[in-house]
Amino acid sequence: MELLLAAAAAPAAVATAAAQAQVPSTSRIVHRQPLQGRFDGMDAAFVEVTIPAGQGSPLHRHSGFVLGYVLEGEFRFGINGQTPRVLKAGEVFYEPAGAVHSSSASASPDRPARILAIIVGPAGEQVTTYETAR
């Protein structure tokens, strides 16, 4: 009987795991601030990103340079194909303009990662562009 119950539950567990694997990260622009002086024509987009446990985002780049802060969890970070490193809550990262964000993921299988990315680039441009398959 236990074997029958386990067999009946297996497809539901697989379906749940597949659904969780497809949960994308979420991001929202918290604030966008036009800049002046030396940065005239640029703005700073403050973007809060939440990455589900064990998930990551596809290759992407940003419209300008990025100053990032890990708000909670552990964030796997890497640019331009470099070996990724794991950053914990309270740690910071930097991405130069034009860098490909080659690793952007929650480093924990059971906890999401949440970051704040401040993207300084041309005013009004889309802040994130995903790479297409080559």
User: Residue 44: which CATH number?
Assistant: 2.60.120.10
Rounded to whole angstroms, the Cα distance separating 47 from 97 reads 16
Confidence at residue 25, expressed as pLDDT on a 0 to 100 scale: 84
Per the structure, the count of domains in the chain is 1
Residue 12 lies in a domain: no
Residue 46's domain comprises 24-130
Q: pLDDT digit of tens for each residue in the chain (134 aa)?
A: 443 334 444 444 433 333 334 456 899 999 999 999 999 999 999 999 999 999 998 999 999 999 999 999 999 999 999 999 999 999 999 999 999 999 999 999 999 999 999 999 999 999 999 987 55
What percentage of the chain's residues is helix, strand, coil (to nearest 5)? 15, 50, 35
5, part of any domain: no
Domain for residue 61, yes or no? Answer: yes
Instruction: Report in angstroms the alpha-carbon separations of 85 from 62, 89, 102, 103.
Output: 19, 13, 11, 9
Is 100 a member of any domain?
A: yes
pLDDT at 132: 77
Query: Does any domain span residue 19?
Result: no
The answer as to whether 15 is a domain residue is no
> Does a structural domain hold residue 18?
no
Interior angle at CA 108, CA 27 and CA 96, nearest 5: 50
Q: Which amino acid is at 134?
A: R
pLDDT for position 19: 37
